[in-house]
Amino acid sequence: MEPIKLSIDKAFGFVPEEAVAAYAPQVESANRTLEDGTGRGNDFLGWLHLPTSISEAHLADIEQTARTLREQCQAVVVIGIGGSYLGAKAVNEALANSFDWLVAERRDPIVLYAGQNIGEDYRYELQELLKGKKFGIICISKSGTTTEPALAFRLLKDQLEAQQGKEAARQLIVCITDKARGALRTLATQEGYKTFVIEDNIGGRFSVLSPVGLLPIAVAGHDVRRLVQGAADMERATGTDVPFADNPAARYAAVRNALYHSGKKIEILVNFHPKLHYVSEWWKQLYGESEGKDGKGIFPASVDFTTDLHSMGQWIQDGERTIFETVISVREPNHTKVFPHDDANLDGLNFLAGKRVDEVNKMAELGTMLAHVDGGVPNLKVELPRLDEYYLGQLIYFFERACGMSGYVLGVNPFDQPGVEAYKKNMFALLDKPGYEEASRAIKARL
């Protein structure tokens, strides 16, 4: 199968090709550091060879568990936040019918999400929707102690037990967590839930190809083998044996570092395909948590075009010139729709009659790229032949591998996230969590 294609030539008007090529030794060295496991955060490299090492038995277990939930449930609630949520959400949204919710007489269970916020109305409305429905729960938390998913699980487990009885509920709950540690592991062991393990050496934002992503994706009815296959092919295409010029992850890592050091501090991930919205959300977490530290890092932002051309388009065309764009372009849509001829032509659109909707979208994409380059915005493009499991697998691994290299070139540990603890400490202090008495007194004195 052909690989996804990275084009960086529309950045060369801003950073010379030689300046990007000058990063080759550093990027290749970063790739070897990943491979040898000699860099910072090297205890979190379990994702690196995950695609090529997933066993048949593991995949079969995931598929069987998904089948059971699909057969037994009208809805499955996936509980998780951050890296324990975004990968599955990204793939499921990218592959789902856009009007999935409204499809009558559905055979597949609805996949719903909880644990990614603490919105009371969201929880209330979700639980109202689940009233009287046979639903299952996949609770995902590596630490097993994250507040948002733990709160969601407590509420939904209660509801499920009330609706189905404790014994039946037990068969409808699957937990994905650490093999030994954490409250979720303790609970799962006590209650006898089916579990999958998140390995110690896989961090949340690199976990989509582990059960964290694969089980919810399989539950939604998608082909996880094709996803893993795509990722495995990209793992081979980005290895240390692949020269810089042929290695898309290495080139992406190089060009974004070159742009960053030339003053382009914000990278905007662009799509012209609304189903990719959550791929951008996943990507923002991947790059934001991996690189935004030690006072450094490109700020990862995202827009959905053409929708956001009518809002953020102004800023991108004309605002401060500290941005560059990376466009995810899908070459061929999965469906065909042609504009009809209209005799009255009151809307003046007959010049488009007989053309596919995608042709208009592609001209919008091309026109936008040229306008933004003319406006001072370097443009990178990642082209997928189609939006399917295989190419999403390639895309996921491409971004992961490039992220590891890019972080090392930037000089940070791409695999930790010390900055996310600050809000938790304050929240627990404000909520009078036992053990936070001192912090509680201190924070309340500031109010």
Interaction site with ligand PA5 (CB under 6 A): 81-84, 141-143, 146, 149, 203-205, 289, 417
What DSSP element (H or E) covers 188?
helix 183-191
Catalytic member of 56, 71, 105, 310: 310
- Nearest approach, Cβ of 182 to ligand PA5 (angstroms)? 8
Which helix (H) or strand (E) element contains residue 34? helix 24-36
In the complex with ligand PA5, the residue whose CB is nearer, 205 or 256, is 205
The full DSSP string for 202-252 is --GGG-TTSHHHHHHHHHTT--HHHHHHHHHHHHHHTSTTS-GGG-HHHHH
Q: Is the dihedral of CA 257, 261, 265, 270 positive or negative?
A: negative
Least distance in angstroms from the C-beta of 420 to ligand PA5: 6
Distance CA 83, CA 10 (A): 32
Q: Is 310 a catalytic residue?
A: yes
Q: Shortest approach of ligand PA5 to residue 350 CB, angstroms?
A: 50
Residue 431 beta carbon to ligand PA5: minimum distance, rounded to whole angstroms: 18
Name the minimum Å distance from CB 85 to ligand PA5.
Answer: 8
Residue 416 C-beta: closest distance to ligand PA5, Å = 9
Whichever of 88 and 231 has its CB closer to ligand PA5, that residue is 88
Closest alpha carbon to 327 in 365, 288, 358:
365
Q: How far is the CB of 178 from ligand PA5 (least distance, A)?
A: 8
DSSP string of 325-374, one letter each residue: EEEEEESS-SS--BPPP-SS-TTS-GGGTT-BHHHHHHHHHHHHHHHHHH
Burial class (CB in 10 A: 0-12, 13-18, 19+), 311: exposed
Which of 404, 160, 176, 432 lies closest to 290, judged by CA? 404
Cβ 313 vs Cβ 281: under 8 Å: no
Reading phi first (left if > 0) and then psi (alpha if -120 to 50, else beta), residue 299 is in beta
Q: Which residue has the tokens 């009078």?
A: 432
Reference 242, options 413, 401, 383, 37; nearest CA is: 401
* 15 versus 286: smaller Cβ distance to ligand PA5: 286
Catalytic hit among 289, 291, 365, 400: 289
175 versus 258: smaller Cβ distance to ligand PA5: 175
Question: Residue 28 or residue 289: which is nearer to ligand PA5 going by CB?
Answer: 289
Task: Mark whether 372 is an active-site residue.
Answer: no
Q: Which is nearer to ligand PA5, 264 or 284 (CB)?
A: 284
Active-site option among 355, 424, 425, 444: 424
CA distances from 152 to 113, 130, 172, 447 (A): 10, 13, 16, 29
For ligand PA5, the closer CB: 376 or 414: 414
Burial of 101 (C-beta count, 10 Å sphere; 0-12/13-18/19+): exposed
Question: Active-site residue numbers?
Answer: 289, 310, 424
